[in-house]
Amino acid sequence: MGYVAVRGGEDAIRNSETLLTLYRRRGVGDPIQVAQIQEQMRLAVDRVMAEGSLFDATLAALAVKQAEGDLVEAAFLVRAYRSTLPRLRTTPVLRTGEMRLIRRISAAFKDVPGGQLLGPTRDYTQRLLDFGLLEDTEPLPEAPRVTLPPGIPPCEKVSTFLRNEGLIGSPAGDAPVPVDVTREATAVPMPRSARLQHLARGDEGALLALAYSSMRGYGNVHPTVAELRVGYLPIRVRVPGLSDPVTIGELLVTEVEMIARDGIADAAEPGPARFHLGYGFAIGQNERRAICMAILDRAMQAERPTAPAEDQEFVLAHIDGIEAQGFTNHWKLPHYIDFQSELDQTRARRTAQATRPEAVLVEVAE
pLDDT tens for each residue of 198-247 = 999 999 999 999 999 999 989 877 889 999 999 999 999 999 999 999 99
Residue 1: pLDDT above 50? no
The pairing of beta strand 100-105 with beta strand 224-237: antiparallel
The verdict on 203 and 158 lying in the same domain is yes
What span, in angstroms and rounded, lies between the C-alpha atoms of 119 and 96? 18
Q: Edge-to-edge strand order for the sheet containing 224-237?
A: 100-105, 224-237, 246-260, 276-283
The verdict on 64 and 148 lying in the same domain is no
The verdict on 233 and 109 lying in the same domain is yes
What are the Cα distances from residue 254, in Å, to 35, 105, 291, 305? Answer: 23, 12, 9, 28
The verdict on 42 and 158 lying in the same domain is no
The verdict on 114 and 25 lying in the same domain is no
The verdict on 194 and 218 lying in the same domain is yes
- Per-residue pLDDT, averaged over 170-190, amounts to 82
Across 29-43, 234-248, 261-275, least confident range: 261-275
Domain-ending residue, one of 325, 344, 361: 325
The verdict on 200 and 250 lying in the same domain is yes
At 112 the pLDDT is 85
Closest C-alpha among 278, 334, 319 to residue 75? 319
The answer to the question of residue 355 being in a domain is: no
Residue 113: pLDDT above 60? yes
The answer to the question of residue 352 being in a domain is: no
For 363, phi then psi, to 5°, come to -90, 125
At 154 the pLDDT is 54
The verdict on 105 and 65 lying in the same domain is no
What span, in angstroms and rounded, lies between the C-alpha atoms of 258 and 294? 6
The verdict on 226 and 253 lying in the same domain is yes
Contacts 24+ apart (CB under 8 A), 261-270: 262/220, 262/221, 262/222, 263/220, 264/220, 264/221, 264/298, 264/299, 264/301, 264/302, 264/303, 264/310, 265/169, 265/172, 265/301, 265/302, 265/303, 266/169, 268/303, 269/169
pLDDT digits (tens, 9 = 90+) for 54-99: 999 999 999 999 999 999 999 999 999 999 999 988 899 888 988 9
Across 21-35, 131-145, 234-248, 265-279, least confident range: 265-279
The verdict on 303 and 206 lying in the same domain is yes
228 is in which domain, residue-wise?
A: 96-121+144-325
The answer to the question of residue 45 being in a domain is: yes
- For 290-316, the DSSP string reads HHHHHHHHHHTT-SS--SGGG-HHHHH
Percent of the chain with pLDDT over 90: 60
pLDDT digits (tens, 9 = 90+) for 323-362: 999 999 999 988 999 999 999 999 999 999 888 766 555 5
The answer to the question of residue 306 being in a domain is: yes
The answer to the question of residue 299 being in a domain is: yes
Residue 267: pLDDT above 50? no
The answer to the question of residue 148 being in a domain is: yes
- Per-residue pLDDT, averaged over 246-268, amounts to 79
**Which is more confidently placed, 9 or 258?**
258
- Per-residue pLDDT, averaged over 128-140, amounts to 89
The verdict on 256 and 291 lying in the same domain is yes
The answer to the question of residue 126 being in a domain is: no
Closest C-alpha among 31, 30, 60, 59 to residue 43? 60
Per the prediction, the chain carries an average pLDDT of: 88
pTM value is 0.88
The answer to the question of residue 139 being in a domain is: no
The count of structural domains within the chain is: 2
Residue 145: pLDDT above 80? no
The verdict on 202 and 290 lying in the same domain is yes
